[in-house]
Amino acid sequence: MLSRVAPIMRKEFIHIFRDPRTLAVMFVAPLMQLILLGYATATDVRDVPLAVYDQDRSRESRELVDAFVQSGQFAVARYVGSEQELAALIDGGEARAGLVIPPTYAADLLGGRGAAVAFVLDGSDPSVASSALSSAGLIGQSVATDVQLRALERRGQTAGIAAPLEVRTRVWYNPDMASAVFMIPGLIGLVLQLQATLLTASAIVRERERGTIEQLIVTPIRPFELILGKILPYALVALLIMVEVLLLGTLWFGVPIRGSVALLLAISCLFL
């Protein structure tokens, strides 16, 4: 059987490496697909442009803005002088969120009355908006607690106050909780599936376009051997694509590979 399948495989390899367009589809398209899909499906909130309208201009209000920046999830795009200017920045896309600090912010916090700030958010991307909204609430609560505790300490009123509960968390397997670690392996499987389907289908279409499909049908080999000879070259190429996208996922997106690469490639053969 091998003596009959090998010439068909050799013919397919010649067609593959002779056509520059086929090579581009095989080895360039998967990289572009993984990069585009990797960024399109990312849900990490990093450096969201933030417009700040600080009416209080106190040390406490500056601490609040600094806490937003130091979280790594927000970056101050501009300080504005009115709510209309803030709204214009969000409408124009220069900012994705806005923070409005009222003039009584510090006085209310230090007086133990609690303070309210306005956080305006562009909700056109719901996943990013949800994460940013949750982060803003946690940041504001943490800063307010710190300011009020310091105010009580200055008054000597902290003796009867119980220390707040501190939850010390540890995240396993994905310490930075980066969405790429979760999404990229699935996208690699999707890219492989797309490429395997596209390449095997194009092999049959190419034979029909060139008028050689009839010659293959009448050759003295069994249909199973014909199909095997057509598919095996593309399965081997798909393994090369697998290695290519794995390297891209590791080097570009920082997705770590833990375990046996040989076992991963063997399972990929079953998948293909």
**172 located within any domain:** no
* Separation between Cα atoms, residue 253 and residue 28, nearest integer Å: 17
Closest CA to 4 of 200, 222, 232: 222
Tell whether 122 and 65 lie within a shared domain: yes
Residue 149 is classified by DSSP as H
Q: What is the pLDDT of residues 113-149, one digit of tens each?
A: 778 899 999 988 787 788 888 889 889 888 888 887 7
Domain limits for position 135: 48-155
pLDDT score at 238: 86
Strand order across the 118-121 sheet: 74-79, 48-54, 97-101, 118-121
pLDDT score at 1: 66
* Separation between Cα atoms, residue 200 and residue 108, nearest integer Å: 69
Tell whether 65 and 110 lie within a shared domain: yes
Q: What is the pLDDT of residues 51-89, one digit of tens each?
A: 999 999 998 899 999 999 998 899 999 999 999 999 999
Q: What is the pLDDT of residues 81-108, one digit of tens each?
A: 999 999 999 999 999 999 999 999 888 8
Tell whether 94 and 129 lie within a shared domain: yes
pLDDT score at 176: 78
- The H or E element that residue 93 is part of is none
Contact, 42 vs 183, CB < 8 A? yes
Contact, 36 vs 250, CB < 8 A? no
CATH number where 82 lies: 3.40.1710.10
Give me the residues paired with residue 79 across strands: 52
Tell whether 126 and 198 lie within a shared domain: no
Tell whether 223 and 140 lie within a shared domain: no
pLDDT score at 159: 45
Q: What is the pLDDT of residues 6-49, one digit of tens each?
A: 887 887 788 778 878 878 888 898 999 899 988 887 777 888 99
